């Protein structure tokens, strides 16, 4: 007797299923299993047909036969778990889900089912852990199977409720400890707790080009560390006056972002080559801009008192940054943590703010700050007026004189090898 063509039988079975002919499909799968009792796809299909007929025990045994083949697929164990769920056999369901996750620890359905089981059993912490793992591996909603969308939404909602409950509990327990430490600087600890509880994000320095290891990321540096800023802040009125004269002339202003057409724009699509965010350069690519420097002599004199970084072809930089009404600068990261940026606010209408990492501040004219621009930051002007600040860079205050000298030398060597780099964006 000729041996049946298993590939042909499988093709007929799949065709019958697509046409809704379940009985015919079941017959084809049975014929395949008669020839090859270890045919994985036939076992899975046969188990599903048995389950649809209501023979749960036969289906369970068939799925177990499929699981014994040790395929890299958790589906047989998930099917077994679903049968135990229908029978309300919690312990056996839990074991089947454990087996499924041994095969694939990131299987979304198995994690969701584990979370549902623990939620039903009142095991709050275990349910939150399972639902949290499901939320991590779940793809965006538009890529989810429609039947999984409500389950993933439930997992996310459960996780949010759990996080709020945990945060409220921890806050209550820590209240006395905070009172005992009254007057102490606990900003770092408070932030660490907020990050641990999910109320805030962790932000690290992510320089786009040059990274110096060992420099701790600081969103905003303590103002007291920069006594030389006193003179620059004291000159705010003079700096503003020089800017206003430049603004009257309306010459020399360029878009802040100027990517060429062959470069990826990413978050800069709206602001690339746009006058909505513009700059008037005083120092660019490490060299004074003659026209700008000549029109702002007092500003240049005051800037000379700052510890400007020396990276030939790159730094220092200094410019007036103009943000037009109803304009938002999207979140982004700077290029090098060897230098920090300074903002000196000059013209600040209401509804203008600046965020670095987890801290959001409002500019105050004449009050400068130093921040690490390699930490994600963004700015917005929600007013109907122009916002203007002076931006310039300085050496990272934690770099030693020897380290600064080596970075300067490295920049020179790179220039010798490849030519001028075209500067760092301010």
Residue-wise pLDDT for 1-25, tens only, equals 455 777 887 788 788 888 888 888 7
Instruction: Decide: 314 and 285 in contact? Cβ < 8 Å.
Output: yes
* pLDDT at 132 > cutoff 80: yes
CA 395/CA 31 separation, integer angstroms: 77
Beta strands at 277-284 and 318-323: parallel, antiparallel or unpaired: antiparallel
Calculate ∠ Cα 248-370-360, nearest 5°.
Answer: 90
Give 30's pLDDT tier (boundaries 50, 70, 90).
confident
Averaged pLDDT, 114-127: 97
Q: What confidence score (pLDDT) does residue 404 get? A: 94
Mean pLDDT across 271-281: 94
pLDDT tens digits, 254-270 = 999 988 877 777 888 88
What is the tens place of the pLDDT at every residue in 63-77?
999 999 999 999 999
Q: What band does 416 get if pLDDT is binned at 50, 70 and 90?
A: confident
Entry pTM: 0.74
What is the arithmetic mean of pLDDT over 121-148?
95
Classified as helix, coil or strand, 64 is helix
How many Å apart are CA 299 and CA 48, to the nearest integer?
78
Residue 401 has pLDDT above 90, yes or no: yes
Q: What band does 33 get if pLDDT is binned at 50, 70 and 90?
A: confident
Q: Is 412 helix (H, G, I), strand (E, B) or coil?
A: helix
Estimate to the nearest angstrom the gap between the alpha carbon of 235 and the chain centroid.
39
Judged against a pLDDT cut of 70, whether residue 424 lies above it is answered with: no
Sign of the CA dihedral running 118, 120, 121, 123: positive
Average pLDDT over residues 95-119: 96
Q: What is the pLDDT of residues 286-323, one digit of tens each?
A: 999 999 999 999 999 999 999 999 999 999 999 999 99
CB 184 within 8 A of CB 357: no
**What structural domains does the chain harbor?**
6-160 (1.25.40.10), 223-418 (2.60.120.330)
pLDDT of residue 273 exceeding 70, the answer is yes
**CA gap 28, 34 in Å, rounded:** 10
- DSSP structure string for 281-298: EEEETTEE-HHHHHH-HH
Q: What was the pLDDT predicted at 221?
A: 97
According to the model, what pLDDT value does residue 318 have? 98
């Amino acid at each position: 007797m000729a041996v049946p063509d298993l590939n042909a039988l499988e093709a007929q079975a799949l065709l019958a299923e697509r046409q809704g002919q379940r009985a015919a499909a079941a017959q084809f799968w049975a014929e395949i299993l008669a020839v090859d009792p270890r045919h994985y796809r036939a076992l899975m299909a046969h188990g599903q047909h048995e389950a649809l007929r209501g023979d749960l025990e036969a289906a369970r045994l068939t799925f177990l036969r499929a699981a014994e083949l040790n395929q890299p697929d958790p589906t047989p164990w998930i099917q077994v778990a679903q049968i135990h769920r229908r029978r309300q056999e919690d312990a056996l369901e839990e074991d089947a889900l454990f087996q499924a996750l041994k095969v694939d620890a990131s299987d979304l359905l198995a994690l969701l089912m584990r979370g549902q089981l623990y939620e039903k059993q009142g095991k709050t912490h275990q349910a939150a852990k399972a639902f949290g793992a499901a939320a991590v591996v779940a793809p965006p909603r538009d890529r989810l199977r429609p039947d999984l969308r409500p389950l993933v939404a439930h997992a996310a909602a459960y996780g949010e409720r759990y996080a709020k409950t945990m945060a409220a509990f921890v806050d209550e327990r820590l209240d006395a400890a905070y009172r005992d430490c009254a007057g102490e600087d606990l900003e770092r600890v408070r932030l660490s707790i907020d990050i641990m509880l999910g109320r805030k994000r962790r932000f690290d320095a992510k320089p786009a080009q040059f990274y110096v290891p060992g420099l701790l990321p600081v969103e905003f540096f303590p103002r007291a560390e920069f006594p030389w800023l006193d003179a620059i802040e004291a000159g705010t009125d003079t700096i503003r006056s020089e800017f206003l004269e430049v603004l009257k002339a309306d010459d020399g202003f360029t878009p802040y972002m100027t990517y060429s057409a062959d470069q990826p724009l990413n978050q800069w699509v709206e602001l690339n080559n746009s006058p909505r965010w513009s700059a008037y350069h005083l120092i660019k690519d490490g060299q004074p801009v003659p026209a700008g420097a000549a029109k702002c002599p007092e500003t240049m004199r005051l800037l000379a008192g700052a510890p400007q970084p020396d990276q030939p072809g790159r730094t220092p930089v200094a410019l007036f940054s103009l943000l037009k009404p109803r304009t938002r600068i999207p979140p982004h990261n700077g290029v090098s943590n060897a230098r920090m940026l300074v903002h000196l606010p000059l013209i600040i209408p209401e509804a203008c703010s600046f965020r670095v990492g987890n801290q959001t501040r409002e500019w105050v004219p004449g009050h400068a700050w130093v921040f690490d621009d390699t930490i994600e930051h963004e700015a917005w002007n929600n007013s109907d007026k122009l916002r203007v600040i002076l931006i310039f860079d300085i050496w990272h205050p934690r770099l030693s004189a020897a380290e600064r000298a080596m970075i300067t030398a490295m920049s020179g060597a790179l220039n010798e090898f490849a030519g001028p780099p075209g500067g760092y964006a301010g």
